[in-house]
Amino acid sequence: MKVKVLKVRLSDEFITYDQSVLDRFLKENNVLKFESAFVKDEESYWSVILYYEEPKMAVNDARNQKYSVEIGEKLNSDEIKILDSLKLWRTEKAKNQNLPVYFIATNKELLSIAKYKPAKKEELLEIKGFGKHKIENYGEEIIEILESV
């Protein structure tokens, strides 16, 4: 049996992300029991202790842990507008930084963003291929594009 401790912060800035981390953990693991406590410190949050077993993962499951769509997947008109805006932004960003466009984001990553439509920078972590580096460098601009289209 393994133990995992998670913090679910109540502020608007973190609650959606923290809850998604907890939801994903619950979905991916076999929780045997749990304990929770409300903590009122500088910030209020729920501390959650989960006692669990990891399920045996098939090879194909390991690749699909983050949100990802396949190239060629059908897009609605709003998603096409988002994707076109993201590609234009990526081209300009790559040109300004003298980098290949795929260093900024791959077509598959942009397609996943257009389909998933994250509302906050932290939600970009759900997109396969997006880690802290990409989010720090490009997250705010991507969210601005999503809000403006």
Largest CA distance in the chain: 52
pLDDT at residue 10, as a whole number: 87
CA distances from 14 to 7, 36, 76, 107, 122 (A): 10, 18, 30, 28, 8
Q: How confident is the model at residue 58 (pLDDT cuts 50, 70, 90)?
A: very low
Host H or E run for residue 49: strand 44-53
pLDDT band at 63 (very low <50, low <70, confident <90, very high): very low
Mean pLDDT along residues 51-67: 59
Is the predicted pLDDT of residue 127 greater than 80, yes or no? yes
> Which residues does 92 contact at the CB level (< 8 Å), separation at least 6?
none
What's the rounded Cα separation, in Å, for the pair 59 and 61? Answer: 6
Classify 38 as helix, strand or coil. strand
- Rounded Cα distance between 13 and 119, Å, is 11
- Residue 97's pLDDT is 92
Cα(69)–Cα(51) distance, rounded to whole angstroms?
32
Instruction: Return the higher-pLDDT residue of 76 and 28.
Output: 76
How far apart are the C-alpha atoms of 53 and 9, rounded to whole Å? Answer: 25
How does residue 70 score in pLDDT terms, banded at 50, 70 and 90? low
pLDDT of residue 62: 43
Domains of the chain plus CATH, in order, are 2-55 (no CATH), 77-148 (1.10.150.80)
d(CA 95, CA 54): 44
The confidence score (pLDDT) of residue 66 equals 64
